[in-house]
Structure 1
Amino acid sequence: MNVAYDPLYLFIGGDWISAEGRATAAVVNPATACEIGRVPLASADDLDHALEVAQVSFEQWRQTVPDQRAKILKRAADLILERAPRIAEQMTLEEGKPLGESLDEVTRAAEYFEWFAESARRIDGRVVPANRPGVLQLVKRQAIGPVAAFTPWNFPAITPARKLSAALAAGCSVILKPGEESPATALALARALDDAGLPKGVLQVVFGVPDQVSSQLIASPIIRKVTFTGSVPIGRLLSARAAEGVKPITLELGGHGPVLVFDDADIEKAAIEGVANRFRGTGQVCISSTRFLIQRGVYERFVERFVTATLALNIGDGLTPGTQVGPLANPRQLAKMQALVADAVAKGARVLAGGKRLACSGYFFEPTVLVDVPMNARVMQEEPFGPIAVLMPFDHMADGLKEANRLPYGLSAYAFTSSARTAMEVADGLEAGMIGINQYRIVATELPFGGIKESGHGSEGGIEGIEHYLTHKFISQI
């Protein structure tokens, strides 16, 4: 399938700024390891300009009536859906995931704009009865101000969509810095918003050296709110920078999702759907199931079914029909998978499926299943963020919960059981912001998305998603 890659720009003040005459970075198709484009990198002057524009446009946008904001967001959602096939092709070219996954992601990104369009109309306040006669007491919710939003490369449509839709619905202007490895998808969202009538300057999209961009934007007094999706170490760094300016920050960081499979579970469902969940996005999914903890009575049966389903997966270029697992996004991920497997095997783990790089030009790594993994292996401590699944037995619920909660992460967790009592107890006992019982699909526009512990704080999506872009103002009037 021959697909052309779209030109890349910066988007500042309503202008589409090409790469000509400025520093650029290569965009590589991970299925071929070939360069497909050059993304322009914002200079310090570009960022200063973006900040100035964001400040001026905020004053206009915050005064725009909610109904008008909602109409623009809905129109943008319609345009994203109309352009979904093309946007999905761009995503697969630059990120590598199978085309069907890309199309599903673009569709769900549009749903966030639809959802928060309605939320714009529901930003209300309240009248509080006073304890003195003749006093009117009001509580208003207002847009917090210009937002700096940072998103990674692995979900280049839905992650920016969560942040943009909520912030814009609240009345905030936004400077978005997507991942430089998958820039065309985020630019397609910006194009839809621009074509939908978003006032010029309300949204800026910039690329650049991540540390330089984040330090300049967060340090600016113009930025009033920061939101970041990415790794735990970078989340800590940005959180510290935001704290210097006493700026609120929403963090959606990494995970190492445990799955508890009990003796009375539907083993076929837990295993087959577990394989699909684990290797979706080539395992580069923060809420993915990574550690499968299986009660000992059904352990062997689960392992056999899981390994069989893993070996049956079709690996290839995401643009090729029938592909189920695409390449890793970049050479860094490939090297990490090789190192994690080598470390686990050296310490006594067994590889039941996969375990090595495919002999081709792209960044392909076989879907891998590890058993007998010792606790001192790196993969038992670090989020693999790639196509590696760890399977291990447990005896009693307390043992399973202890292992599930052992790590400092708390993003997603899953459990499979036919017992309502077990389901309730394990849901209460799991330390995670999102929990799936007898299912792996736990993300929806109407539900909060976020974690606890070192997986971050704050939620995106649902009725909770817009709250982080609003402030409360108390007014007492005589």
Structure 2
Amino acid sequence: MFDKQTKSIFIGGKWIDVQEKETIYNPTTLEPITEVAYGGAQETEIAIQAASKAFTVWSDMTGRQRSRVLYKASQLMLEEADRLGEILTLEQGKPLNEAIGEVKGAANFLLWYAEEASRGYGEWIPSSIKSKRMLVIPQPVGVVGAITPWNFPSSMVTRKIGPALAAGCTVVLKPAPETPLSAIEIIKIFDRAGMPEGVVNLVTGDAQAIGNALLLDKDVRLLTFTGSTAVGKYLMRESAEHVKKLSLELGGHAPSIVFDDADIDLATNLVLASKFRNNGQTCICTNRLYVHESIADQFTALLTEKVSQLKVGSGLEEDVDLGPLINQQALEKVQSHLKDAIEKGAQVVVGGGEWEGNLEGCFYNPSVLTNVSDDMLIMNEETFGPIIPIQTFRDEEEVLHKANDTDYGLAAYIFTESTNQAIRASEKLEFGIVGINDVFPAVAEAPFGGIKQSGNGKEGGHHGMDEFLEKKFVSIGIS
């Protein structure tokens, strides 16, 4: 599927080669897949210049003209979803059906913003002065630096650059060093779809050098980033030099609350789907599970039974539910959270420990913990792995206080059959996204983003394109 060396730096409509290379490994087998170019600040600066030059042409096109390119790219992604899904599984490890689903979701973002490209509406303001006419014109921000994560290496690319391109911005993309191959394929698709030279550029290699070049160059007017809160804070500090706009989707620590009237079979299925999707390596997956004490035993028994039936293995095998963790560092974090919980009194009711299979990757058994207390790391930090800690509660006020007692505010989930309780609780939860009997809130047509230390700005929906538009006020004096 890949040559020994894969071209991975795309600038000004051309694939650029550099002498230094970096090996990309399959996290399932730890075997090398291919080598990609190891670029740095110099390549990034050239890419920024190309994007700056292309901005004049791209931003001057009509929304309908930009829409045609995005629509074509979306079509090509859907046509090649199986091939792109296999590439995603090879470099990231998630089960193939999940990977193909992610590719189709990525194509949906391009389709949505192909449609939104023609809808960057302005505003006519009724004047209080007879001799004045006032209007607001939306205009593209300029060159955008996009930094994407490894856990969703396809959909995070299109969720960021889709709205940027629809708005008329040009882009320099830096994918995660662990998973550049999906981004490379998406750039190839944009090229085939007729994207003008320099509108979309890709630089792989030295993450810090590339990121700093995007951060410090004044021609990059907006930086969109998905990743850790610590890195997000660094970007906020350093971007002050040029008062650069930021769109940040940072860490999460999602609570799931199961009230006493919940449909237990539905709730266990959805918690299972939320927590173990992508092996728990998602920013919106269930990290803390609160179950009403009156149904806790029944709920835990059913959830434990379902967790015990999950299949671990290579994402390319049929019926596999969980692939590997991304690397050794991720495995060590999961192990440290489990060890800390056990030392503080938690009980492992299923799973616990590394998976003893015949593959070399960093696999971990899906696990459920009970007798969990608030002082445990797993109840305060994002685990990014396949462990569900269960804690019981007595009343709504108590559990909402616990759910909100965190610096994070990305996603939260409620399971209840009561409309009153669902509305009341969703309004009191301090999170940017709340799912009610729903754990898959990330769709192209709706805003996605957190509050507090989970970031700022929105991705998805018409709100996502707003991030890439400046609103220019024009005041006209008439006689």
Specify the alignment match of 1:317 in structure 2.
314
SS at match of 1:332: helix
Specify the alignment match of 2:467 in structure 1.
468
- For residues 392-442 of structure 1, the C-alpha deviation after alignment (integer angstroms, 9 at most, x for no partner) is 100000111011111111111001111111111111111111111112121
Q: Give the partner amino acid of 1:365.
A: Y
SS at match of 1:445: coil
Specify the alignment match of 2:447 in structure 1.
448
Tell me how far 1:43 sits from its aligned partner. 2.8
1:196 and 2:193 are equivalent in the alignment: yes
Higher mean alpha-carbon deviation, 84-93 vs 185-194, is at 185-194
Equivalent pair of 1:5/1:90 in contact (CA under 8 Å)? no
Q: Give the partner amino acid of 1:397.
A: E
Aligned pairs for 1:2-401 (under 5 A) are 7-18=6-17, 21-359=18-356, 360-401=359-400
Tell me how far 1:209 sits from its aligned partner. 2.2
Tell me how far 1:275 sits from its aligned partner. 1.0
Equivalent pair of 1:8/1:184 in contact (CA under 8 Å)? no
Higher mean alpha-carbon deviation, 204-213 vs 76-85, is at 204-213
Tell me how far 1:38 sits from its aligned partner. 1.8
C-alpha distance in 1, partners of 2:103/2:310? 24
C-alpha distance in 2, partners of 1:259/1:265? 12
C-alpha distance in 1, partners of 2:62/2:264? 52
Equivalent pair of 1:8/1:183 in contact (CA under 8 Å)? no
Tell me how far 1:105 sits from its aligned partner. 0.5
Equivalent pair of 2:40/2:209 in contact (CA under 8 Å)? no
Q: Give the partner amino acid of 2:116.
A: S
C-alpha distance in 1, partners of 2:154/2:3? 16
Equivalent pair of 2:214/2:223 in contact (CA under 8 Å)? no
SS at match of 2:83: helix
C-alpha distance in 2, partners of 1:420/1:217? 47
Equivalent pair of 1:293/1:392 in contact (CA under 8 Å)? yes
Higher mean alpha-carbon deviation, 390-399 vs 136-145, is at 136-145
Tell me how far 1:218 sits from its aligned partner. 1.2
Equivalent pair of 1:39/1:180 in contact (CA under 8 Å)? no
C-alpha distance in 1, partners of 2:417/2:3? 48
Specify the alignment match of 1:414 in structure 2.
413
C-alpha distance in 2, partners of 1:127/1:373? 56
Equivalent pair of 1:25/1:40 in contact (CA under 8 Å)? yes
Tell me how far 1:4 sits from its aligned partner. 5.2
- For residues 317-367 of structure 1, the C-alpha deviation after alignment (integer angstroms, 9 at most, x for no partner) is 000111111111111111111111111112211111111112341111111
Tell me how far 1:210 sits from its aligned partner. 2.0
Tell me how far 1:243 sits from its aligned partner. 2.3
C-alpha distance in 2, partners of 1:427/1:375? 22
C-alpha distance in 2, partners of 1:461/1:35? 35
Tell me how far 1:5 sits from its aligned partner. 7.1
SS at match of 1:414: strand
TM (norm. structure 2) is 0.97
Size of the aligned set, in residue pairs, is 474
C-alpha distance in 2, partners of 1:93/1:429? 41
Q: Give the partner amino acid of 2:60.
A: Q
SS at match of 1:464: helix
SS at match of 2:467: helix
C-alpha distance in 1, partners of 2:410/2:475? 41
C-alpha distance in 2, partners of 1:128/1:400? 45
Q: Give the partner amino acid of 1:283.
A: G
C-alpha distance in 1, partners of 2:7/2:271? 37
- For residues 234-274 of structure 1, the C-alpha deviation after alignment (integer angstroms, 9 at most, x for no partner) is 11111112222111101111111101101111011101221
C-alpha distance in 2, partners of 1:429/1:137? 39
SS at match of 1:62: helix
SS at match of 2:29: coil
Q: Give the partner amino acid of 2:40.
A: S
Higher mean alpha-carbon deviation, 238-247 vs 137-146, is at 238-247
Equivalent pair of 2:2/2:34 in contact (CA under 8 Å)? no
C-alpha distance in 2, partners of 1:305/1:39? 46
C-alpha distance in 1, partners of 2:324/2:93? 6
SS at match of 2:464: coil
Equivalent pair of 1:353/1:370 in contact (CA under 8 Å)? yes
- For residues 215-247 of structure 1, the C-alpha deviation after alignment (integer angstroms, 9 at most, x for no partner) is 111111110011100111111111112222111
Structure 1 residue runs of 4 or more that deviate by more than 4 Å after TM superposition: 3-6
Q: Give the partner amino acid of 2:10.
A: F
C-alpha distance in 1, partners of 2:314/2:3? 16
Q: Give the partner amino acid of 1:464.
A: H
Pair 1:49–1:4, CA change in 2 (3 A): closer
SS at match of 1:140: strand
C-alpha distance in 2, partners of 1:377/1:477? 61
- For residues 64-95 of structure 1, the C-alpha deviation after alignment (integer angstroms, 9 at most, x for no partner) is 11111000000000011111111100000000
Unaligned ranges ≥5, structure 1:
none
Tell me how far 1:16 sits from its aligned partner. 1.3
Equivalent pair of 2:147/2:175 in contact (CA under 8 Å)? yes
Tell me how far 1:454 sits from its aligned partner. 0.7
SS at match of 1:270: helix
Unaligned ranges ≥5, structure 2:
none
Pair 1:159–1:178, CA change in 2 (3 A): same
Equivalent pair of 2:345/2:372 in contact (CA under 8 Å)? yes
C-alpha distance in 1, partners of 2:7/2:31? 17
Q: Give the partner amino acid of 1:328.
A: L
Tell me how far 1:134 sits from its aligned partner. 4.3
Equivalent pair of 1:267/1:302 in contact (CA under 8 Å)? yes
Q: Give the partner amino acid of 2:420.
A: R
